[in-house]
Amino acid sequence: MKKNRGIRISSSFISPVLVYFIALLIVAGIVLVIQSFTGSTDESADKNRKVLYGVKAVKIPENLEFAGEKVPVENFDTRERLDMELLINTYWHSQTFLIIKKANRYFPVIEEILKRNNIPDDFKYLAIAESGLSNVVSPKRAVGFWQLMEETAKEHGLEVSKEVDERYHLEKSTEAACSFFKESYKKYNNWTLSAASFNAGARGIDRQIERQKQGNYYDLLLYEETARYIFRALALKLVLSSPAEYGFHFDESDLYPEIPYYTVEIDTAITDIAKFAELHSTNYKILKNLNPWLRENYLSNKNRKVYTIKIPEKGYRNNSGLLKSENNM
């Protein structure tokens, strides 16, 4: 008898696999038959997916101002530059959401100083364009919320040394920025150019005005960073003024609160800032967070200068909440 040389598959293997495969084919067939009678795919589900996950174009306002000065959105170049920055800040969700949260903490401080110096409120958005409301250091060694170079900082009254760098001091660096803005406005009689010169430097703006025979920011061909600068501020103004319109939804409790503090004036040296913090019922980390302009773990203060140091109020004095002694009060 001739032997069957084919491969014999065990019935214990073929049964469950085959049954499962056949069941899938039957289900798929039923779905196809139903779709052929009802039209095609589930259109309502597709529409829901478009609403939930779709990306829509951003709308450019027909009338827009920066610092009370008209933005020529009717010009194609202006409109497209603003559109680009608005798209970036609308759909770079994590970064923009972080800025919204931080603005709740820092804008009240900046707004009050701008108002006191008669600087337009819109200039607060420049601090976001410069640093994202963070004490960052640029590759060119510009420092702080306002990204001040050492020379510029000193020209406008800030102390910059190994132990003290007031470019990290929010209030004082904002005052220095205001000083620059006022000087620049006297020169250009235009807030938009004043803002641009803060980024490019007055000499850089003057050189391009002379070269191109144009005196309007929106008509000047500038280096990329400065060319984008005002448009970044405008995009941030639009998003932060109407966050829900651009897809950002949150409760008040989601925003970062202002940290309440009181101040202590000293005109002597601090040999150990960690011990100084402990003396005021807080810790080194929190004290430095409120006073980032203190750059070392000591303060020599050889000239007996008066420094004002922020001390966190009860409830914010360490990283885990109330101190044990306060919990027991």
179 and 320 share one domain: no
Whole-model pTM? 0.81
Residues 6+ positions from 70 with CB-CB distance below 8 Å: 64
- Indicate the residue among 239, 254, 269 that finishes a domain: 254
The reported pLDDT for the residue numbered 28 is: 59
| pLDDT score at 84 | 96
243 and 279 fall within a common domain: no
List per-residue pLDDT tens for the chain, 329 residues long.
444 444 344 444 445 555 555 665 665 566 555 555 554 444 544 444 444 456 788 889 999 999 999 999 999 999 999 999 999 999 999 999 999 999 999 999 999 999 999 999 999 999 999 999 999 999 999 999 999 999 999 999 999 999 999 999 999 999 999 999 999 999 999 999 999 999 999 999 999 999 999 999 999 999 999 999 999 999 999 999 999 999 999 999 999 999 999 999 999 999 999 999 999 999 999 999 999 999 999 999 999 999 999 999 987 776 554 444 333 33
Domain end point (choices 232, 254, 276):
254
What does the buried/exposed string (b/e) look like for 203-231 if buried means 16 or more CB atoms within 10 Å of the residue's CB?
eebeebbeeeeeeebbebebeeebbbbbb
- Asked if residue 309 belongs to a domain, the reply is yes
CATH of the domain at 107: 1.10.530.10
Residue 21 lies in a domain: no
Same domain, 113 and 222: yes
Residues 296 and 206 occupy one common structural domain:
no
Q: Are residues 77 and 202 in the same domain?
A: yes
Question: CA nearest 185: which of 196, 174, 176, 200?
Answer: 196
DSSP class of 2 = -
Q: How many domains is the chain partitioned into structurally?
A: 2
Domain that holds residue 317: 261-327
My answer on whether 190 and 237 are in the same domain is: yes
Domain edge (last residue) among 254, 276, 302: 254
Distances 253 to 20, 256, 257 between C-alpha atoms, Å: 51, 8, 8
